[in-house]
Structure 1
């Protein structure tokens, strides 16, 4: 893999050298670069438009109904949609957005009261009011098929406007966390403009195009093939929550554009046609550092990437397939993986590993990873009747650190420093024990050393993955290599985002390389797991072939365990500040790990990279006062700080 990596870097640097020869000289001021040099698809002066990575090609275009599955929401949601509250994913700051204060509950948590912000306007000039909030909740509750219908129909008894700035939601059962559905992490319930949607006959087919915006930007134009969208700053941007709360406007235009593949993103940034991207692979990022001196990621030096996005990567299994319903088989697959090689040779050594279904961010490490390590070290699994085995390897950070030193990087030398840089331990790479687990369950090898299922047929499976989610794809390729070396024939299916999302939601996969709540790994900037495991409750279970979206379910793997219900139910009955919340979160982790319900691999890292040739002000480790995750809805509060580079 290392030889392949070196070849890719060399090849990419040659391409970038050719591109750089056609671009403005390195010392040329931004305004000196001629407009004709830009290869952007819009007729807007380059110093008037902030160009953002669209992440993937939109297969559903001219449809802004973000209350149904299908229309894409990255970037759109932060530019034109809004909700009641936000938690900044970098700082943990609570932000009152469309609400002026946190929610209040009655004593038994069966009623939530919301105070609505005055002075906010929709882009057509209509005032945002409590009526919009009431209408949104009622519409979601009463329309099966809409996103959040499962949650609203389950919990909401009635919702009413007490006065123009007060909404009261009466619940069917106590729920001290009902406000979580309106508190943005990645997204939350988007508030509808009542004056538009009350005229809609079918909310499921309405395209909401062109959209009336509640954000600082309005839709301007787009590519019918889904490669780009252009948004224009509203004249009354100061009548939106981002304008009100920051006092700043942001760039006059924002162009979101999809450059397929890490190489194309690198080339676009090298010629200053891309100001900000979400992520690229390690090789392309290194090429950018070489070719574009005005570009940087979160850290200026190794490990460069942003480490605190609250999510993790995992391999998930379809539990309707007998092999994957077997815990021993899942453990065998985990022990056949070499996490050190995956993290270094496939990811570049720039993130933390995590053995538990929780992102290894700075905060979550203090709540879960470090306190749970003694339990992980003591964990035993049965490999033969009466024969126990300890699968956890606490030396993984040291092994990754040794690799990093070989590459010439400066890394900590003490155990705590290595853990902080590379995470806690992971599962041993132990193909011998993996083999024993399979043999115990009736598997065997053919004459070529390839695995046969208990019925004697060859064992093969496919992994679905989205190439534009770089680490998910690289991990899938790594698993294909490692499971293949172990004797399993594995295929990687490369899918665009929409078919990838569809197949996960329908359960149309054998193995998925994934991220997010369907693997139990998502979190917020607190220790409370309830919102991110609620969708595993049996009340939301959907059979294979039924779309989980809009039902309240996140259970794409279709696993069933009544012990999950018990944890979720008890969590939901507690106040958010109850010490038992953390204990139950750890109980969930233990249950998940003991059963290896999914194989969690690494915490999120993103080479969120800004080219400061035209624009500056994006958050980095040098000014870490807000989140750099522009594709999150909360990115709306970072964009106003972007300013033109002065000549």
Structure 2
């Protein structure tokens, strides 16, 4: 028979545990109960560098989530923008060539100076006049002038009609490269691109308290005058955590144990296997859903494989389509996250729930009739509508409770995928100029090898997808090399085009109007290999797509014509296949409610679980301490 502990001993244990929680301190010496600990996915190579206009700065290391000032931010639930530095949306003339932007009054820099039109005009002209800042060429192609009318009014003139000022220069998904800087500091610099800004003056609700010299963490502290920050002025709410510690936690084993041991509150992304282990070991750990499938499939950055189309034969759509049909998507899906996730197979546009309703489902009749010419007099209709039902059977056989309603299945698994058709793929590769010999594939008389790369130690969905694609292409018969790269190398290679097939994700989709998502695919922005430009690094050169982008730029984002052009673009992109999508962004993003609670979730969807987006600063007002 079990002996029960005396009541007074139980009370002692409870009091000791409670006192340990109350007295606990973090590795950086702050009270644990006042410190929200958030993971970043990789250490920074440039510790102490907070100027996002200096090459190499990692904006996602808390900089744009907690400190940066955006002109317009995004309400990710409504899919609508709102003014942050701006007091509202632009006021434009009839032909959208002149725009008045009112600046929100009351925001102050953390040194007490007012944030006003001087800062906005200075920042935009700084970008425009500094060629070594990445978007500079684009600014010069768009803007005629940016000038101050008064302390809280800016007049912007564009060279052509430009009805999407806020969509292009404000946040729609992750962030935006227009981050307003303090004119009274940056105007004194000889070269803004070489200024580290290790003790930054900011407009956001947090400032830098300290940082690790090895680049593993940054400690942010809430401003004493948080009411004067962007978040304070916009919402009137105080961020609840006095400190936010953004830190690199380590490898998957370290991350898992840190979460279980309550040493971290928020992880960026884990695998389903890790979720099952962590939730079994600590009941305070949860994801977007408390039970299967755990993850949200509405991150608007779909993952798949990207081609470097300035290189042969990757520039040939027959080759790219051959790759699509050489892969068994069912096997790819299982190898990524055990079949969890909504298929997002169309190029560039992510199948979030909203985009699936707006674009994917309306495109389904066209997709079912779409044909490829295989080059030998035969054709194939490559779209497969059976994927959701096959995945239902697969997961149900494993004991998961999967809905049977067709609409629910489509919402969970998507409208379909590309067929597994290796014979058709072989014909397309031959049509693209490859030759199949007894000892393998050749191109232009030489043995053909595909070099495939992915980002090391982070972004599990993207990495697993690229590895799954590698396995499929090797099984098909290609000779492939597989390599992982550090964050710095990966980002540099993306911009300069130093890859062949990579696990990049030049994708998105959160608004009905697609211009902000597709404008970077304008072929006029392509620069030679080895150079950095304002457009997409894949270097897709499609005249029809570029024409649509140019036409779309001139029409109102709220118009029917905008939507019709978006649909036309998707058909052109699908036919040319510049990117092969696998799934929408499937995010297993666990939180720990031992010290903090009220995280966004499926039961409380006041925001998405986007800790790495710039909108995180608005989540900090809602995450509350556990009493």
Deviations 1:424-480 (A, max 9, x none): 1010111122123224455444546x4333514243423343431111111111111
Task: State the alpha-carbon separation in 1 of the partners of residues 115 and 429 from structure 2.
Answer: 60
Residues in 2 aligned to 1:311 and 1:104: alpha-carbon distance in whole angstroms = 30
1:217 partnered with 2:206: yes
Partner residue, 2:219? 230
TM-score by length of structure 2 reads 0.94
| 1:509 and 2:499 correspond | yes
* Structure 1 residues 238-317: aligned runs within 5 Å: 238-244=227-233, 245-317=235-307
Q: Whole-Å Cα distance in 2 between the matches of residues 116 and 97 of structure 1?
A: 9
Q: Does 83-92 or 214-223 show the bigger shift?
A: 83-92
Tell me the SS of whatever aligns to 1:461: strand
Q: Which residue of 2 aligns with 1:22?
A: none
Structure 2 CA distance for aligned equivalents of residues 118 and 444 of structure 1: 66
Provide the residue aligned with 1:3 in structure 2.
none
Match of 2:597 among 603, 613, 616: 616
Match status 1:204 vs 2:190? no
Which of 561, 565, 572 aligns to 2:542? It is 561
Could you say what secondary structure the match of 1:515 adopts? coil
Distance 2:13 2:76 in 1: 35
SS of 1:59 mapped into structure 2: coil
Matched, 1:542 2:527: yes
Distance 1:635 1:181, change over 3 A: same
Distance 1:467 1:481 in 2: 19
- Partner residue of 1:593? 574
Q: Distance in 2 between matches of 1:574 and 1:93?
A: 19
Measured after TM superposition, the shift of residue 163 of structure 1 is: 1.7
Distance in 2 (CA, whole Å) between partners of 1:460 and 1:326 is 14
Contact 2:449 2:481 survives alignment (8 Å): no
Give the superposition deviation at 1:31: 4.0
**Contact 1:370–1:424 (CA under 8 A) maintained in structure 2:** yes
1:575 CA displacement: 0.7
Structure 1 residues 346, 314: CA separation in 2 closer, same or farther (over 3 Å shift)?
A: closer
Match of 2:110 in 1: 123
The TM-score, its normalising length taken from structure 1, stands at 0.91
Q: Is the 8 A contact 2:22 2:33 kept in 1?
A: no
| Equivalent runs, 1:24-103 vs 2, <5 Å | 31-33=18-20, 40-74=26-60, 75-103=62-90
What's 1:532 paired with? 517
Distance 1:26 1:399 in 2: 52
| Alignment of 1:174 onto 2:161 | yes
Residue in 1 that maps onto 2:587? 606
Provide, for residues 360-391 of structure 1, a one-character-per-residue CA deviation record: whole Å limited to 9, x for no partner: 11111111111011111111001133311111
Deviations 1:107-147 (A, max 9, x none): 11111111111111111111111111111111111111214
Alpha-carbon distance between aligned partners in 2 of 1:441 and 1:362, rounded to the nearest angstrom: 35
Number of aligned residue pairs? 611
8 Å contact from structure 1 (residues 445, 451) kept in 2: yes
Shift of 1:568: 0.6
The change in CA–CA distance for 1:68 and 1:178 in structure 2 (over 3 A counts) is farther
Alignment of 1:103-142 (within 5 A): 103-142=90-129
Q: Distance in 2 between matches of 1:27 and 1:291?
A: 20
Alpha-carbon spacing, 1:580–1:26, altered in 2? closer, same or farther (3 Å): farther
**Alignment deviations for residues 296-330 of structure 1 (CA, whole Å, 9 cap, x no partner):** 11111111112222111121112233221222221
Separation in 1, partners of 2:221, 2:423:
59
Q: Is the 8 A contact 2:24 2:32 kept in 1?
A: no
Q: Does structure 2 conserve the Cα–Cα contact (< 8 Å) formed by 1:344 and 1:403?
A: no
Task: State the shift of 1:90 in Å.
Answer: 3.0
CA drift at 1:604: 0.3
Shift of the 337–116 alpha-carbon distance from structure 1 to 2, 3 Å rule, reads same
Change (3 A) 1:160 1:459: closer
Any conservation in 2 of the 1:464–1:509 contact (CA below 8 Å)? no
Contact 1:336–1:429 (CA<8 Å) still a contact in 2?
yes
| 1:387 maps to which of 340, 355, 378 | 378
- 1:401 pairs, out of 381, 386, 392, with 392
CA RMSD after TM alignment: 2.0
Q: Separation in 2 of the partners of 1:26 and 1:157?
A: 70
Are 1:618 and 1:639, in contact at CA under 8 Å, matched by a contact in 2? no
SS at match of 1:403: helix
Seen in structure 2, the aligned counterparts of structure 1 residues 30 and 344 have a Cα distance that, compared at 3 Å, is: farther
Candidates 408, 411, 423, aligned match of 2:402 = 411
C-alpha distance in 2, partners of 1:272/1:29?
Answer: 17
Q: Is the 8 Å Cα contact of residues 87 and 94 (structure 1) preserved in structure 2?
A: yes
CA distance in 1, matches of 2:502, 2:609: 27
Q: Does structure 2 conserve the Cα–Cα contact (< 8 Å) formed by 1:143 and 1:149?
A: yes
Deviates more, 1:236-245 or 1:315-324: 315-324
How far off its partner does 1:27 sit?
Answer: 8.0
Measured at CA, do residues 235 and 405 of structure 1 come closer, stay the same or move farther in structure 2, by a change above 3 Å?
same
* Partner in structure 2 of residue 463 of structure 1: 453
**Hey, what's the Cα distance between the residues in 1 that align with 2:47 and 2:119?**
26
SS at match of 1:243: helix
SS in 2 for 1:569: helix
Of residues 428, 440, 463, the one that matches 1:437 is 428
SS of the equivalent of 2:621 reads helix
- Give CA-to-partner distance per residue, 1:245-291, whole Å, 9 cap, x none: 14222200000111233332111100101100110122112211211
Whole-angstrom distance in 2 between the partners of 1:196 and 1:618: 36
User: Which residue number corresponds to residue 426 of structure 1?
Assistant: 417
Shift of 1:150: 2.3
**Which secondary structure does the structure 2 equivalent of 1:411 belong to?**
coil
Q: Deviations over 1:34-92 (max 9, x none)?
A: 68987x53111111110001111111221111124310011221211111211222332
Mean alpha-carbon deviation: is it higher for 405-414 or for 506-515?
Answer: 405-414
Residues 268 and 274, structure 1, Cα contact 8 Å, conserved in 2: yes
Correspondence 1:480 to 2:470: yes
Any gaps of 5 or more consecutive residues in structure 2? Answer: 1-11
